[in-house]
Chain A
C-alpha cells in the first residue's frame, strides 16, 4: 500500500469514458433513434455485450494473476442466475400463451 504509484491510470480512464459513452449511445438508440423495435433491441444487446467486456477486462481484475478461479466462479453463478431470471420470468409470465 505504501508505495502506491501515482501515475495517471490511463486504462481506467479509457474504460470509464467508453462505458459512459456506450451508456449514452444505448439510451439514445432506445429513446431518439427511430429505428425499428427489433433493431433497437439488437443494437442495445450488442452494446451491452461490449459494455460487459469493458467492465470485465478493464475493471474486474479478469486479466490479473493470482485471483485464481474466483472471478470465473462468480461469473458462472451470475450467468446461472441471469438464466433463471430470464427463463423463469418467461416460464411464469407467459400464462400458457407461448
Chain B
C-alpha cells in the first residue's frame, strides 16, 4: 500500500483539513510544552477518575465534535444552496452526510448528555462518585479514542460514505471496498464499549448509592431520566454491538450475514440496526427531557407538576421504544399487517410524550417565570419539539410514510426532534449547570444572543425542509433542481444562522471565563435539588457529610428550614479512589488495534489485542485500595469554601 492510498489525496478541502490538523496539534503541543503543562495534563485530567472531571472532558469533546459535524452540515448546505453547485463532488458529499450523521449521534449527542450525567447525577443523589470510577474513566477513553478513530478517516483512508445507517448491501465489502466503512464499524464498536459500560455504571450508581432517605420516587427527575436511559442503553446497545461485529466479520473475514450472495440477508442489517436505533433516539431525548424538567421547575419556582406521572411516562416511553423499530423501514415491504402493527405502536408513544408536554405547560401555568438563558432554551424546546413530534406521527402512519419516506420531510422531522430536543437540552443543561462545573455563570446577554441566533436559524433552516420534502426533494442528493431553489437557499441561510449562534455560544465561554463574576454561593439559580447544596467549586469528595433526604426537591426544603448539608461534628475520613493511567493506555491500545483492523492488517491487530489483554490481566491483579482524606483536610477545605459565602452554622 502506497502513501497515496493511505492518505486521502486530490481534494483541496481535505488538504486544508490536513494543514489545519497539523497546525492545531502543533499549537497544542507547543502550548503544553511552553507552559510546562504536560505533567498537569496527565495527573489532573488524563488519569483522573473523578466523575466531575470526566464529565467536563466529555462535554469538551462533544463541543469539538459539534463543531466538526456542524462544519460538515454547513458544507452540505452550501452545496445545496444553489442548483448545480460544484462546491463538493458526489463522493465527498456522500462522505460528509455520513460523518455528519454519525458524529452528531454517537460523538456529540450521547457524550454531551453522558457528560452532564457524569457531573450532575452523583451530586443529585448525594454520592461521592460513580459506583465504578475506574470503569467510568475507561468509558470516557473508549468514547474518546473511538471518536478519534472515526474522525481520522477523512484524511487517512477515506471516510465512510454509506450514510449513518450504513445499510447493507451498499455498506458491504462488495459495494464499498476499502477502509471507509471499516472506520465506521470499528469506531462505533470501540466507543460502544464505553457507552454500555456507562449505562451499567450509572444504573448501579443510582440504584445503590443514593443518600439515605432518597427513595426512588424522591429522586430528582434528571436522575430518573438518567436511570431510564441507562436501562435503555444496557438493553439496546448489545444489539448494535452484535450487528456491528457481524458486519465487521462480513467485511474483513468474508462471511455472508448481510451480503447479497451466499444466503445473506441484507435487510437484516436494517432490522437489527433499528432495533437498536429506535431505543437510541430515546437514549438521546430522555435525558434532555430530564434537563428541561429541572430547568423549568427551577425557573418557574414550582415543584415539577405531575412528578409521578412524569416518571411513569418516562418508563412507558422506554418500554415502547423497543416495540416500534419497523417504522424506520415501512417501505421495505414487510406487508400491510406488519406495518399496521408498528404504525399503531408508534402512535402509542405520542401519548406519554404528550403527557410530558402538558406537565411542563402545567408547571409553567401561573408561575413566576424567570427568563434566564437556560429557561429560554427550555421554553423554545416545547413548541419546536411539538412540531417535530406531530410530523413524527404523520411519518408513523404507514400508508402516508410511503410518500414521506427518505424525503426532506423526514430530514426536517428528525432535525426538529433532535435539535429542538437534544441540542437545546444540551445547551440548556450546560448553561444551567455551568456554575457548578466552572465556578461562574455564563454571561446572560451574550447567551441570549446565541440563543436567538441559534433558535431563529434553526427554524429558518428546517421549517422549509418540510415543504421541500412535500415538493419531492429526496434526502442524500447533492444537486438540487431549480424548482427547489427558493426553499433551499432559505434553509442554507438558516444553517449559517445556527453556525453563528454556536460561535457566539463558544465565545461566551471564553468571555465568561475572563469577565464573569466568580460564583461563591454554590446556588446561583436558587434551585431545588441536592447538587446545589454543595459548595462551588465542588470538592473532590462532593459531600463532606452525606445528606439525609426527606422529600423530593430536598435542597429547596432545606433552604426553607434554614439547614445546610454540612455538619462539622459528623465528619469522618473519606475513602476515595486513586487516579490511574491504565484506562487511557488500554483504550489507546484498542484504538490502535481498531486502526490496524480498519486496514485489515491482521497481525498488527492481533498484537494490539494481546496488548489490551495484558493490561486487563494487570488490572486483575490490581490491589489498589484508594486513599483516605483525613478529617483535618476536609475541615480545611470546607472552611475555606464556606467561610467566604456564609458563616458556619
Contact = CB atoms under 8 A, between A and B. Distances in A.
A52 to B, nearest CB: 14
Contacts, number: 38
Contact of B625 (A1, A88, A92): A1
| Consensus secondary structure, chain B interface | helix
B333 A95 contact: yes
A95 to B, nearest CB: 6
B366 to A, nearest CB: 40
A24 B253 CA distance: 18
Interface string A61-85: 0000000001000000110010011
A92 B323 contact: no
Interface in A1-30: 1-2, 4, 6
Nearest to B342: A92
A36 interface: no
A44 to B, nearest CB: 15
B235 A92 contact: no
A84 B265 contact: no
B1 interface: no
Interface in A83-98: 84-85, 88-89, 91-93, 95-96
A81 B338 contact: no
Nearest to B339: A92
A84 B325 CA distance: 11
A94 to B, nearest CB: 8
A86 B207 CA distance: 30
B236 to A, nearest CB: 9
Given A81-B322, A84-B323, A93 B235 contact: no
A23 B239 CA distance: 20
B65 interface: no
Contacts of A78: 235
B10 interface: no
B334 interface: yes
B643 interface: no
B334 A84 contact: no
B271 A91 contact: no
B246 interface: no
A92 B269 CA distance: 12
Contact of B338 (A1, A2, A85, A92): A92
Given A84-B322, A95-B334, A95-B335, A89 B235 contact: no
Given A1-B625, A81-B235, A89 B271 contact: yes
Given A2-B625, A81-B322, A93 B275 contact: no
Contacts of A4: 623
Nearest to B279: A81
B338 to A, nearest CB: 5
B628 to A, nearest CB: 11
Interface string B202-238: 0000010000000000000000000000010001000
Contacts of B322: 81, 84
B338 A89 contact: no
B267 interface: yes
Interface of B: 207, 231, 235, 239, 265, 267-268, 271-272, 275, 322-323, 325-326, 332-335, 338, 341-342, 623, 625
Given A89-B271, A95-B334, 5 more contacts: A2-B625, A77-B231, A92-B271, A93-B267, A95-B335
Interface of A: 1-2, 4, 6, 70, 77-78, 81, 84-85, 88-89, 91-93, 95-96
